[in-house]
Structure 1
């Protein structure tokens, strides 16, 4: 194989997502994502190895970024009449009593890919401290490919973070099933929207990474898609 192609010879059979994209992303309908920041683990040579390794998916994913977390801030409009102090001052100038007054609230959003799983040392601790400083007192929701035990060990308990519980497996998922592991997590300090019938937080939803048309299923990835509906602190 020509080395100029920047690929490596793989020892595994052809994978469905051989030519797919691999990386972190944040998609939002809430206007621009501002103040972006990346927290990285030290890069390991295994990601760029010219031989097949576990970290480059047997030679099929010659990764460029390594383990990381991508974070940004979005702003959402909230009802100032219900403001509990977590939102900024009212856009109407007073914030108190006026019908229909609104204000803007900042929420930190993050996409993580095994951040810190390779590092339980001082570098990881420094990343956590920087992340805490970045979040401050904001509401936050982050998600991605992360080991649940690592999340509990490293993140949960910091500023009220918790893992949104869902027992559904997510990896390696396909049109045929959800796989054998819960490989994707959602972490937040926000409450789940309350179900009006049960009075409990609404359950997260996990669906297969599959598009079906004309009876044919097309895999769009090897991780299932998981989501949850959250409420702002003043809701």
Structure 2
């Protein structure tokens, strides 16, 4: 009887401690089939505000403010992650107000960053004022949709393999969009310090609008056919 009483007292305490340990553990993870909300006030580890450690669906619950140009807002350390910015803004400290002058302060912090991952999707939000890039994804399969990358220190979006659509890259201190093996559809690229789009490998682009990039010189390194419906400074891209 005494042992039973002790178990009844101790087991709930152990369960509570286990739950507390999960809450205090660095990084966040999503259970299969569920949406995990991201608290914009997190600070998982130095240099990163939020670290995603497991596959799943994640949704930002509010605007996120990054105070340091060397801090990354969201680091993805897992495959098969969908990140819904949920209409919110990731705001860094960098300003690009008088291009082509350099943006300041610059740094190594990115809005969303991943290296060596697959199946990354980011959608529905604004990333601006980061010290490095709005989005920097060294991955093989990316989907970016309905995002704005605006006035980031070294460029808007960089990725290697995947698509970007229905998005805006504007006023960044480098390329608007840069990468390899890209599908670039129905985007606006304007006022970036370098090319609006620099794409290599098996890249394609269609139905995009370019304006005022690269000091009104070439807007992209790609060649556009009439059927691609790309517009550069109010005329068909060549």
- Please give the TM-score of this superposition, normalised by the length of structure 1: 0.24
Give the number of the structure whose residues are more often strand, by fraction: 2
TM-score (norm 2): 0.24
